[in-house]
Amino acid sequence: MISKDLKIFLRNRASLIILFMSLFLLLFLLIFLFNHSEKNLVIAYYEPSRSNLSTSIKNILKDQSINLVKFNDNNSCIESVKKSMSNLCVIFPENLTISENYNGSIKFVIDQSKINLAYYLLDKINSQFSSFTKSKQTEYIDSILESYNLSVDNISKALSLLDQIKEEASKTKNDITHIRLLLSQIDTSSKKLDASKLKYSAYDLINRYNFVMDLTKQTLSLFDDIYDDVDELNKQYNFTEQQVNLSKYKQNYQRLHSDLLTRENDSNQLIQPLIDNVNAFSHYYTSSQSQLETIEQKKKAILSDLERIESKINATLNLTYSQSSLLVSAKRLYDNLPIKETTTLVEPIKTEILPLFNTSSEFVILPSIFSLLIIFSALLFSSSIVVSNNLSRGRLREILSKKKKSYFYLSSFISSWLIVLLELATFVIFISFPLSLTTSQFLMLLLLLFISTPLFLTIGILIGNLSSSKETAAFFSLVLSIIFIIVSGDLVPVEFFPKILKNTLPYIPYEMFKRASFNIIVNNFSEAFNFKVLLMLFLYTLIFFILSYLTFKQGVFRNNLFRFILNQNHKKSDKKTNTKSKKKIKSNAVKQ
């Protein structure tokens, strides 16, 4: 009896083709259903310190109609996902910012068993993140470019100032030479020469000196900015040559700075004595009573003042030259700055995906695969065996044998059970080695299979009894499987469904099987194994067993007899043609 059913199934290619067709249909639906809009999505987050960036990210999530729940520590955030209170846990790093050297990353803790929902959310977040990061990058690059332009501008300004200093300093030196010449030409004994020329020249010198010093002061404030800019640029580009220049620049700057600080005393130490000496010299020179000796003394004093000023100017000139050459090299570096990609210059916000369960992802996906396998194989196998038996004329001869109907029902049931059990047991054995299932896990899975397969088989037999052809039975089985799969959240996250459906979820046989296998494979009985589930599965089996047997007994046998013996379809069509012809005759008679 069973071997007959097995032979019939294996020799029937149609059911095998339908099996593959349904797989393609399922894939098509999967793509179709993911275009669904989200609802009731909850994301838990933990934020050790607030930053503008993290606030912006939270606002992005809120804009996506996602509910955010704050947690005070990592663990409670993760626990909320485990307890299905939230769909994802986001852990922000400390002081989240966007820059080149920032290493912190945002961590997403996902439930691998609800991978579709997790990836749906991650996809949503990531697409927002990438646009957000891009805007931040642009902002950052703009600021770099601005400081770059400013630095280049400052360097140019400083260089022109330094040129001006050089020019003025040279002029100052010329002034000093001119005064020296004037002093040498003065004949102190004759008193014929006018001393006013010397006086004016001295004043010119003093004015020019002060001007040079003012220019130097201006340059100094620019040097401050340039110093900061070059320092910043150096951090970003990390040039060795630049570092060397920078240290020289720094030394120069410091010398210039200290030199300038002493400028305040210059008026007392350098300028004022020169003014006093020139005035005194002029006075003594014009006065008839003045002695030659005193005039000569003042002349010497002026010459010594000039010498001191000259040495100062020389020192300033030297510094200016060296500073100028450093600035030129700095400018050259700026000009030859290599062009970098924005993304390499500023990295996007780093994200990490962490699994909720420590086990490997295969473990987590396995219960779903397992559940899919049981529903497809059980429904399709049993319904196709029942339909092929019911459609076969051999069934008529079976009825004639007067064997009990339960005998035939049980044969279909047991043969389907054997096939499905064999298929699933092979699957369990195959996966138990690479995933290192423990003996208790393995045995528990077999027990679960033993109890659950009859349920799906009886549903399949019921479908087979209600179907008039194999195609219809396969279609029914497929539709029912898809309903089970959708309702249990395998295709579309349960969060997208209304609350009533979510509440009935634990009582749906397919979901019950999936949860039980998840508890065995993934949690390794960490959650107390619910034997009530097994009892409920058994009760469901009993209900469907009775239902399928009743349909088998009442419907199938009667329908088969009428179909085979009376050829009812043929009669019906005959009836139709008869009534049509009768109507025609009637209408003709009326016409006549």
Partner 1 sequence: MNIVELEHVNFAYGKSIILKDISLKLQKGKVIGILGESGVGKTTLLSLIVGLLKPSKGRVILNVPEKKIGFSFQTPSFFDELTVEENITYFARLYGLDKNQIEKTKTFLLGFLELNDHAKKLAKELSGGMKKRLDVILSLVNDPHLIILDEPVGELDPFLREKVNELISIYRKRGATIILTSHYLSDLMDICEEFIILKDKTVIFSGTFDNLLSQLNVNYKTQIVLENERDVELFKTIFRYNEALSIRNKVIFLHKDKPLFYKLLLHFIKKNKIKIKEIKVTSPDLRDLFLDLVSKRDTNQKETRSENENQINQTNQTKAKKTILGKKTNSEKEP
- Side chain identity at residue 46, one-letter code: Y
Tell me which of 14, 141, 195, 399 binds partner 1, using CB under 8 A.
399
From 41-49, 158-166, 168-176, 391-399, give the range in contact with partner 1 by CB under 8 A.
391-399
Residue 402 binds partner 1 (CB under 8 A): yes
Residue 14 binds partner 1 (CB under 8 A): no
Contact 438, 29 (CB under 8 A): no
Contact 362, 112 (CB under 8 A): no
Q: How far is the CB of 392 from partner 1 (least distance, A)?
A: 5
Residue 311 binds partner 1 (CB under 8 A): no
In degrees and rounded to multiples of 5, residue 370 shows phi and psi of: -60, -45
Calculate the CA dihedral of residues 370, 376, 382, 383 and round it to 10 degrees: 160
Q: How far is the CB of 502 from partner 1 (least distance, A)?
A: 45
Residue 7 binds partner 1 (CB under 8 A): yes
Residue 590 binds partner 1 (CB under 8 A): no
14/21 with CB nearer partner 1 = 14
Residue 577 binds partner 1 (CB under 8 A): no
400/528 with CB nearer partner 1 = 400
Q: Are strands 88-91 and 350-355 parallel, antiparallel or unpaired?
A: unpaired
- Extract the tokens encoding 146: 């601005």
6/466 with CB nearer partner 1 = 6
Q: Which of 359, 368, 352 is nearest to 30 (CA)?
A: 368
Q: How far is the CB of 566 from partner 1 (least distance, A)?
A: 6
DSSP character for 106?
Answer: E
Contact 461, 383 (CB under 8 A): yes
Residues 403-432 that bind partner 1 (CB under 8 A): 403
Q: Are strands 105-110 and 88-91 parallel, antiparallel or unpaired?
A: antiparallel
From 45-53, 385-393, 498-506, 536-544, give the range in contact with partner 1 by CB under 8 A.
385-393
From 44-52, 131-139, 400-408, 533-541, give the range in contact with partner 1 by CB under 8 A.
400-408
282/388 with CB nearer partner 1 = 388
Contact 501, 495 (CB under 8 A): no
**Distances from the Cα of 214 to the Cα of 49, 89, 333, angstroms:** 49, 63, 29
Provide the strand spans (E) within 105-227.
Answer: 105-110
Residue 501 binds partner 1 (CB under 8 A): no
**Site of tokens 């259903």:** 33
CA distance 343 to 352: 18
Q: How wide is the angle at C-alpha 124 spanned by C-alphas 120 and 129, nearest 5°? A: 140
404/499 with CB nearer partner 1 = 404
Q: How far is the CB of 572 from partner 1 (least distance, A)?
A: 9
Residue 566 binds partner 1 (CB under 8 A): yes
Q: How far is the CB of 395 from partner 1 (least distance, A)?
A: 8
442/564 with CB nearer partner 1 = 564
Q: Which of 87, 86, 104 is nearest to 95 (CA)?
A: 104
Residue 396 binds partner 1 (CB under 8 A): yes
397/532 with CB nearer partner 1 = 397
Q: How far is the CB of 15 from partner 1 (least distance, A)?
A: 12
**Site of tokens 């894939």:** 27
> What contacts 121, CB < 8 A, 6 or more positions away?
41, 43, 66, 87, 88
332/403 with CB nearer partner 1 = 403
| Helix boundaries (H) for 287-350 | 292-335, 342-345
Contact 461, 382 (CB under 8 A): yes
Q: How far is the CB of 577 from partner 1 (least distance, A)?
A: 14
**Distances from the Cα of 332 to the Cα of 155, 220, 327, angstroms:** 11, 21, 8
Work out the number of other CB atoms within 10 angstroms of the CB of residue 46. Answer: 20
Q: How far is the CB of 426 from partner 1 (least distance, A)?
A: 24
Residue 2 binds partner 1 (CB under 8 A): no
Q: Which of 486, 478, 491 is nearest to 379 (CA)?
A: 478
From 185-193, 284-292, 362-370, 389-397, give the range in contact with partner 1 by CB under 8 A.
389-397
Residue 555 binds partner 1 (CB under 8 A): no
Q: How far is the CB of 419 from partner 1 (least distance, A)?
A: 15
| Angle between helical axes of 196-237 and 292-335 (0-180°, round to 10) | 20
Contact 103, 349 (CB under 8 A): no
Q: How far is the CB of 370 from partner 1 (least distance, A)?
A: 31
DSSP character for 267?
Answer: I
535/566 with CB nearer partner 1 = 566
Residue 12 binds partner 1 (CB under 8 A): yes
Residue 568 binds partner 1 (CB under 8 A): yes
Tell me which of 27, 221, 354, 394 binds partner 1, using CB under 8 A.
394
Stretch (H or E) spanning 215:
helix 196-237
Calculate the CA dihedral of residues 225, 228, 233, 238 and round it to 10 degrees: 150
By CB under 8 A, how many residues form the interface with partner 1? 26
402/499 with CB nearer partner 1 = 402
Residue 60 binds partner 1 (CB under 8 A): no
Q: How far is the CB of 403 from partner 1 (least distance, A)?
A: 6
28/562 with CB nearer partner 1 = 562
DSSP for 399-450 reads HHTT--HHHHHHHHHHHHHHHHHHHHHHHHHHHHTTTT--HHHHHHHHHHHH
Residue 470 binds partner 1 (CB under 8 A): no
Stretch (H or E) spanning 68:
strand 67-71
397/591 with CB nearer partner 1 = 397
Tell me which of 36, 142, 562, 587 binds partner 1, using CB under 8 A.
562
Q: How far is the CB of 581 from partner 1 (least distance, A)?
A: 16
12/164 with CB nearer partner 1 = 12
Site of interaction with partner 1 (CB under 8 A): 1, 4, 7-8, 11-12, 388, 392-394, 396-403, 561-562, 564-566, 568, 571, 575
